[in-house]
Structure 1
Amino acid sequence: MVRFRKVITMKSPYRLMRLSGSCYRTLRGALARDHFALVKPLAQGRFGSCFLVSRKTSDYVLKAFNSNDVKRRKEKLARESKFLQRIDHPAIPKLIQVLDRDGFYGLVMEQMPGQSLADLLEWDYHFSKTEITAIMAQLIAVMEYLGRLNISHRDIKTDNILWTGEQLALIDFGSASRVSRFNSRFNPDYWGLGDVFLRLAANCDEMTTSSNDFSLAQLDLKPAQREVIERLLYIKKPYCDFQALTEDFNHAWL
């Protein structure tokens, strides 16, 4: 079992934000109508903010959308909840409730454990090759599951992946879309997988041969392993389905 340094386990995987007193009062009132209590702010993004909320003895994550965006593009924002309602996977947060009244629109979701890979990299955490292999294997399995549902996440990046040292979670389906088949010239999900791998590998002493001018060519990889990453990054013939990717990754890495 991988154990993070104490300073890592104490930090939230979300960047803190500031809110005015009036915003707090409005949000507390909206939540109280559904028997939720505001605990603290977690993160702020382009279309809204995330908060830790509680009801009875359980904690959840609330994704509250900006009021202006709710007025202009509520139908688009609501697609995230529709995707989450279809998903049933232990690595993806479950949708608990949709809050929609009086111009307020938000999603209450299961709180997933772990720290974001982005924060771990920021703290200069050095991943082992075993960890990277486990992260990639779990992430590819999640993407294969989504592929069977014809769902494309479209925002695979270190900020949206939580890691406990053993288990992975994929969050933020705000950019997700439905796909009839994976036959486009460029699929951001595959490229995102390759990008995540490179960012982790850059902080892996076992895989990097030089601390200067990091590149894929400098990684200590077997030919079959390198080919999988090159196909993810569209350097070589890209993958067209996640089942083929799973088979190649398992053969080369596991």
Structure 2
Amino acid sequence: MVEVSSTIKGALSLFDYRLSDALGSGRFGSCYLISQYDKFFVFKIFNSNDVKRFKRKLVLEGKYLKSINHPAIPKLIRVIDTDGIYGLIMERMSGDSLEDLLNQGYPFSKKEIFLIIKQLIDVMEYLYSLKISHRDIKASNILWKNNKISLVDFGSARDLSILSCRFNPDFWGMGDVFMRLALSSQEMTFSHHDFYIDDLNLDSQEKIIVKRLLHIEQPYDNIQDLKRDFVYGFSIDQNNEQKIIN
């Protein structure tokens, strides 16, 4: 049984939720698996000291999730704000994080890597239509199951308008995820000593796209140009993309 305070258990019980397991912790709080009848959800509870000091910022995560309706992003079910407890109950997304899969030595293929980044670009295009920047795209925040991604943890999300015109953390994050997956892929590396973009098994156009994501070359200034270049720039059989999903 998860060891948590009776106050947290009591706050959950007010809404007929029960604690099932601990999922992990981060800078501002912890996540738990909770259940209500036969359904499971994720409960993200923020550290009480941070709630006192930064609540105006912490509430933004719930605000953004409430406005989002996308199958790859967890839905906000309820905000709990009672007895000094502040947390979010969210839809439980299935799959393992890319971080866990990398640590397990999962051999990503080039087609899988293409599909992950392509879906990530589509999700970001949707978020940008809502003027939302995720700002924390990394392997641990992307779940992967049945060749489909989920993007989680919107704790760093902010209004798109505050992004610097010189640096887009979402694009850089996608580039970083691409590199981590590519460097773990036997199909995309020639040896265990390959650590740089130019060492990867990519053509010149593909390398430029990755370099632009990582701000090594002229960075992208909009999601539409990135999507166009990525879809048409990578030498993946587009006709087989649906086969990968299925």
TM value normalised by structure 2: 0.92
Aligned to 1:84: 65
1-structure distance, mates of 2:50, 2:161 = 28
User: Alignment partner for residue 178 of structure 2, among 197, 200, 203?
Assistant: 197
2-structure distance, mates of 1:213, 1:229 = 15
1-structure distance, mates of 2:158, 2:185 = 33
1-structure distance, mates of 2:8, 2:66 = 24
Aligned to 1:67: 48
Q: Secondary structure at the match of 2:161?
A: coil
1:123 has 2:104 as partner: yes
After superposition, the Cα gap between the structure-2 partners of 1:232 and 1:239, relative to the gap in structure 1 and judged at 3 Å, is same
Amino acid paired to 2:74: P
Identity %: 51
**Following superposition of structure 1 onto structure 2, how do residues 61-210 of structure 1 map, counting pairs within 5 Å?**
61-180=42-161, 184-210=165-191
* Aligned residue pair count: 235
1:216 has 2:197 as partner: yes
Note the C-alpha offset of 1:183. Answer: 5.7
Aligned to 1:11: none
2-structure distance, mates of 1:231, 1:45 = 30
Aligned to 1:50: 31
Q: Secondary structure at the match of 1:78?
A: helix
2-structure distance, mates of 1:100, 1:165 = 35
User: Alignment partner for residue 244 of structure 1, among 202, 211, 225?
Assistant: 225
Amino acid paired to 1:161: I
After superposition, the Cα gap between the structure-2 partners of 1:77 and 1:182, relative to the gap in structure 1 and judged at 3 Å, is closer
2-structure distance, mates of 1:213, 1:241 = 30
2-structure distance, mates of 1:245, 1:213 = 25
Amino acid paired to 1:186: F
2-structure distance, mates of 1:30, 1:66 = 15
**Following superposition of structure 1 onto structure 2, how do residues 221-232 of structure 1 map, counting pairs within 5 Å?**
221-232=202-213
Unmatched tracts of structure 2, length 5 or more: 239-246
Q: Which deviations, in whole Å up to 9, do the C-alpha atoms of 1:32-74 show, x marking residues without a partner?
A: 0111111111111110000001112210000000111111111
Do the aligned partners of 1:230 and 1:236 also contact (CA within 8 Å) in 2?
yes
After superposition, the Cα gap between the structure-2 partners of 1:29 and 1:144, relative to the gap in structure 1 and judged at 3 Å, is same
Q: Secondary structure at the match of 1:98?
A: strand
Note the C-alpha offset of 1:176. Answer: 0.5
Amino acid paired to 1:113: S
- Please identify runs of 4+ aligned residues in structure 1 that moved more than 6 A: none
Aligned to 2:242: none
2-structure distance, mates of 1:166, 1:205 = 19
After superposition, the Cα gap between the structure-2 partners of 1:226 and 1:65, relative to the gap in structure 1 and judged at 3 Å, is same
Note the C-alpha offset of 1:26. Answer: 2.4
Do the aligned partners of 2:194 and 2:200 also contact (CA within 8 Å) in 1?
no
Q: Secondary structure at the match of 2:30?
A: strand
TM value normalised by structure 1: 0.89
Amino acid paired to 2:80: L
After superposition, the Cα gap between the structure-2 partners of 1:182 and 1:68, relative to the gap in structure 1 and judged at 3 Å, is closer
Aligned to 1:10: none
Do the aligned partners of 1:128 and 1:204 also contact (CA within 8 Å) in 2?
yes
2-structure distance, mates of 1:107, 1:154 = 19
Note the C-alpha offset of 1:170. Answer: 0.2
